[in-house]
Structure 1
C-alpha cells in the first residue's frame, strides 16, 4: 500500500507584544510564507519523493494571503515549484510527514484519529498551525 501525506494550514497566530520586545523588526506581523488554507500533498514512491526535497513543489491549493505581512528578501510562498518549506516549519513537522509517508501512526493515543496530527512551527511570535494527515492509497 502506498501512503501520501496531506498538510493543511489551519491558522496563523500573532503575538505582537513578543515581536515588539524581542524581534529586530518589531512590527513584522504574521508569517508571510504560509497562508490559511494552503494545502500540500506529499508523495513518496518510485517516481516522486517530496520528503527529501523538503516539500518543494507540493503546494496543491493556495490559501488567501494576509494583508500587511512584511516580506523579507528571498521569502516566497512555501511549497511552490522550486521552493521548499520554511526551515522552521520543516524542522517542526517533517517527522510527522515522514511517519505518514511510511504508513505509521502519526500520534497514536493523542489524537482521535492516529492518521492525523495538529502541530505548529517553531516561530514563537507568529506560529503557523498545521494539520498533517496520512492518506492510504490502494493501488
Structure 2
C-alpha cells in the first residue's frame, strides 16, 4: 500500500446558500486552509477534518491500493492517479486534490 498526498486546493463559501441557510457571519471552513498537505493511506491523517475524511476516504483507499486507470468512465479526471474531490459541507465545501505516490505506507505512521 502507498501513501496518498492530499492537497487542499480551495476553501469555498456558497454565498447564496449561506445567506439563506447559514448562521450569521458564516465563512469558509475554519478547519482546513488552502495549500495544506496531508498524507494518508488507510487511516485519517492527524488534524484532518472528520467529515471531510468521510467524504473522501474511498478515493484515498483506491489510490493507496494502486488504482491507476482513469476514474469511472473517463469523463471526470484526465490524469491517472489523481482525483479532485470535496468534503460534504454544502455551504462551505473544501476542494481537495488526491494524488497517488510511491511512498510506502507503514503501520507505524
How far off is 1:137 after superposition? 4.3
Name which structure has the greater RCO, CA cutoff 8 Å, separation 6+: 2
TM-score, normalized by length of structure 2?
Answer: 0.80
TM-score, normalized by length of structure 1?
Answer: 0.64
Contiguous gaps of at least 5 residues in structure 1? 44-50, 57-78, 80-84
Match of 1:96 among 59, 78, 103: 59
> Alpha-carbon deviations, 1:21-60, whole Å to 9, x = none?
112x2321000000000001124xxxxxxx33x222xxxx
Contiguous gaps of at least 5 residues in structure 2? 105-109
Aligned residue-pair number: 101
- Residues of 1 paired with 2:49 and 2:89: CA distance? 11
Q: Secondary structure at 1:98's aligned position in 2?
A: helix
Match of 1:40 among 38, 41, 53: 38
